[in-house]
Amino acid sequence: MGPDPAVAQVRSAVRRVLDGLPPGAMVLAACSGGADSLALAGALAFEAPRSGPDGRPAGAVTIDHGLQEGSDARAARVVRTLADLGLDPAGSVAVTVGERGGPENAAREARYEALDGAAVRLRAAAVLLGHTRDDQAETVLLGLARGSGARSLAGMPPSFVRRSAGDGAEVLYARPLLDLGRATTRRACEAMGLDPWDDPHNDDRAYARVRVRHDALPALEKALGPGIAEALARTGRMLRDDADALDELAAGAHAEAAAAPGELDVERLAGLPRAVRTRVLRMAAIEAGSPPGTLAAVHVEEVDRLVTAWRGQRHVDLPGSVRAFRRYGRLLFGPA
């Protein structure tokens, strides 16, 4: 008799990612202790020894953000669970969450920096993240609400590379569960005898994502019928190819328009199609320190007016205390 169907689905998703990695290389699971990442960790513990002719080492790390009382004790419990699954090494990393870009963005950046460090230290081929199709649907809907364009509507990519702040090493991240629903991961945990932790922040409506999860998506399901999450995730996949192609064009245009670090040639910018030009402006703003999570289309549009509708405007203030201004045929980005 085979495993529970939910367990089989999660294991199959993890197996597909492992098959694309170098044989025998270490893989880490990022695990908060919630149902999604716990199911991911359980599947990785099962699949890693069976990956390739000799298997592969697999570990896990949980991040203690220090934002709730008793977070250190909870992190220790998660580590014990991960070790009991057979993941080795299994450990926790305590981080200090700043304020830049808002609480959600600051926590996310602190988390990724800690995961980068763990991956580099352990020479991991990849770090697996537990985001599901429901997370993807929420991300697409949030992007739609912000009016941030095709890249936001494309949602989260199935894999991406970050450059470690420590030594500049590249760290590969993968999201094996993006095609699976949250109900599947919870059912998989039950079948594997795992007891997930439910983060109280996931019910705090002070966060936009929580309001989308508990209010907006159910309202859309009620008004339009079932399958909204699947439809939003599918829309994200369809837009990703378009966004990737435009981003590639924009990267080349950015290089051609760069007059100096933090400076772009206005004449070159003005000759670009708007879809490419606004991407170039977004790239420049992010390079100057504006957080991608809070830099919205309305900000980029105001910067674009410095190129296409110049009437002597002084400057445009952007998230992250970044300022864009025009001077002597150059568009400059720097600290406000």
Question: pLDDT tens digits, residue range 114-134?
Answer: 999 999 999 999 999 999 999
Instruction: Quote the pLDDT of residue 153.
Output: 85
- What does the domain layout of the chain look like in residue ranges? 5-131+175-220, 238-335
Q: For 126, phi and psi rounded to 5 degrees?
A: -165, 155
pLDDT at 148: 63
What's the pLDDT band for 152 if we cut at 50, 70, 90? confident
CATH topology of domain 238-335: Chorismate Mutase Domain, subunit A (1.20.59)
Q: Is the pLDDT of residue 67 over 80?
A: no
- Whether residue 21 is predicted with pLDDT greater than 90 in this model: the reply is yes
Give the CATH number of domain 5-131+175-220: 3.40.50.620
- Mean local confidence (pLDDT), 145-161: 83
The β-bridge partners of 94 are 64
What is the rounded distance in angstroms from the CA atom of residue 64 to the CA atom of residue 289? 25
Beta-carbon contacts of residue 89 (< 8 Å; ≥ 6 apart):
59, 60, 122
Of 32, 29, 2, nearest in space to 14 by CA:
29
* Cβ atoms within 10 Å of 96's Cβ, excluding its own: 8
Q: How many Å apart are CA 91 and CA 37, to the nearest integer? A: 15
DSSP secondary structure letters along 129-144: ----HHHHHHHHHHHH
In tens, the pLDDT along 32-63 reads 999 999 999 999 999 999 998 899 999 999 99
Report the alpha-carbon distance of residue 58 to residue 60 in Å, rounded.
7
Pairwise CA distance, residues 80 & 76, whole Å? 6
Average pLDDT over residues 92-115: 82
Q: How much is the pTM?
A: 0.81
Half-sphere exposure of 116 (CA within 13 A, CB side): 19
